[in-house]
Chains A and B, each alone.
Chain A
Amino acid sequence: MSDELDRIRREMHSVLQPEGVRPDDSLKITRRTFIHGSLIFGAATVGQTFAWWPLLNTLDIAHAAEAPFKFAWISDTHLYPRSLNTRFVDKVVRAAQEVQAMDPPADFLIFGGDLAQLGKIEELELGVDLLKEVKIPKHYIPGEHDWYLDMGKKWGELFGRPNWTFDHKGVRFIGLDTVSRGPDYWTAKNMTPEERMGHMATLDGTVAGPWAGVGRDQLDWMEKTLADWDKTKPVIIFSHNPLYEYYPPWNFWVRDWREVHEVLKPYSKVTNIHGHVHQVLYNEIGTLRSIGMLATSWPWPYAPEGVPKLTKPMIRVDPGDPFDGVGWEKIDVAATDEIKTEYIMWGRKEVFVQSAEDYDKNVSEIIRPRMADNMWPY
Chain B
Amino acid sequence: MTTRSKFRLPLRRFALLGGITIAAVFAGPSSAHKDPVTPAQLRAYQEVFMEQVRKGDLLFHGDQKMAEQLGVAEDLSKTGMACAMCHPMASDTHPQSFPKFQAQMAKFATLRDMINWCIEKPNQGVKIDPESEAMKALEAYITWSNTGSVLQPGKF
**Does B associate with A?**
yes
- Given A322-B122, A362-B156, is A198 in contact with B3 using a C-beta cutoff of 8 Å? yes
Residues in A whose Cβ lies below 8 Å from that of B148: 366, 368
22 A-B residue pairs with CB within 8 Å: A80-B79, A85-B79, A198-B2, A198-B3, A202-B3, A202-B61, A204-B84, A301-B88, A319-B86, A319-B104, A363-B155, A367-B89, A367-B90, A367-B145, A368-B144, A371-B57, A372-B55, A372-B61, A373-B57, A375-B5, A375-B54, A376-B8
Give B47-62 interface residues, CB cut-off 8 Å to A. Answer: 53-55, 57-58, 60-61
Stretch in B20-28, B35-43, B92-100 with 4+ CB within 8 Å of A = B92-100
A202 interface neighbour in B84, B144, B155, Cβ under 8 Å? B84
Type the 1/0 row for A289-326, where 1 means its CB is closer than 8 Å to any CB of B.
00000000011110110000000000000111010000
With A357-B156, A362-B155 known to touch, is A320 a contact of B88 (CB < 8 Å)?
Answer: no
**Within the assembled complex, what's the spacing in Å between the Cα atoms of A84 and B145?**
29
B61 cross-chain contacts in A, Cβ below 8 A: 202, 205, 370, 372-373
Chain A residue nearest to B152 (CB atoms) is A363
Kindly list the 7 A-B residue pairs having the minimum CB-CB distance in the complex, ordered from nearest. A198-B2, A204-B88, A372-B57, A366-B148, A301-B92, A367-B89, A80-B80
With CB as the reference atom, state the residue of chain B lying closest to A84.
Answer: B80
Q: Report the nearest B residue to A79, measured CB to CB.
A: B80
Q: Does B121 reach chain A (CB closer than 8 Å)?
A: yes
Chain A contact residues, CB within 8 Å of chain B: 80, 84-85, 87, 117, 194-195, 197-199, 201-205, 249-250, 298-301, 303-304, 318-320, 322, 357, 360, 362-373, 375-377
With an 8 Å Cβ cutoff, the count of chain B residues facing the other chain is 44
Query: Can you list, as one digit per residue, whether each of B4-15 has a CB less than 8 Å from chain A (1) or not (0)?
Result: 111010000000
Minimum Cβ distance to chain B for residue A101 (Å) = 28
B70 to chain A minimum Cβ distance, whole angstroms, is 14
Report whether A367 and B80 are in contact in the complex, using a CB–CB cutoff of 8 Å: no
Please measure, in the bound complex, the distance between the C-alpha atom of A309 and the C-alpha atom of B118, giving whole angstroms: 31
The answer on a CB contact under 8 Å between B58 and A372 is yes
- Does B150 lie at the interface of the complex (its beta carbon under 8 Å from any beta carbon of A)? yes
Pair B3/A372 contact, Cβ less than 8 Å = yes
B147: Cβ under 8 A from any A Cβ: yes
Q: Which residues of B contact A85 (CB under 8 A)?
A: 79-81
> Once the chains bind, are A298 and B85 in contact (CB under 8 Å)?
yes
Contact A319 B118 (CB under 8 A): yes
- Residues in A with CB closer than 8 Å to B152 are 363-364
> Cβ of A366 and Cβ of B53 under 8 Å apart?
no
In the complex, the chain A residue whose C-beta lies closest to that of B150 is A364
State A198–B79 Cα separation when bound (angstroms): 16
Q: How far in angstroms is the closest Cβ of chain B from A282?
A: 21
Contact assessment for A370 and B57 in the assembled complex, using a CB-CB cutoff below 8 Å? yes
* CB-CB under 8 A for A376 and B84, given A368-B89, A369-B89: no
Whole-angstrom distance between the alpha carbons of A373 and B57 in the complex? Answer: 8
Query: A196 — nearest CB in chain B belongs to which residue?
Result: B2
A373–B4 Cα distance when bound, in Å, is 8
Is B149 interfacial (CB-CB < 8 Å)?
Answer: yes
Q: A373 touching B3 by the CB < 8 A rule?
A: yes
Given contacts A80-B80, A366-B148, A369-B89, 10 further A-B contacts (CB under 8 A): A198-B2, A201-B1, A202-B1, A202-B61, A204-B84, A319-B86, A319-B118, A366-B147, A370-B57, A370-B145
| Cβ–Cβ < 8 Å partners of A300 in chain B | 86, 88
Is B110 on the interface with A (CB-CB < 8 A)?
no
Residue picked from B8, B92, B96, most chain A C-beta under 10 Å: B92
**Are B147 and A368 closer than 8 Å at their CB atoms?**
yes
CB neighbours of A365 from chain B (8 A): 91-92, 94, 96, 146, 149
Q: Contact at A371–B53, with CB atoms within 8 Å?
A: yes
Q: Give the distance in Å from the alpha carbon of A373 to the alpha carbon of B59 in the complex.
A: 11
B145 CB to nearest A CB, Å: 5
Closest A residue, CB atoms, query B4: A377
Output the least CB separation between B101 and chain A (Å).
Answer: 13
A25 to B87, CA, bound (A): 35
A residues less than 8 Å from B54 (CB atoms):
371-372, 375
A202 proximity list for chain B (CB < 8 A): 1, 3, 61, 84
How far, in angstroms, from A318 to B144 measured CA to CA in the complex?
Answer: 25
Q: Which residue of A lies closest to B80 (CB)?
A: A80
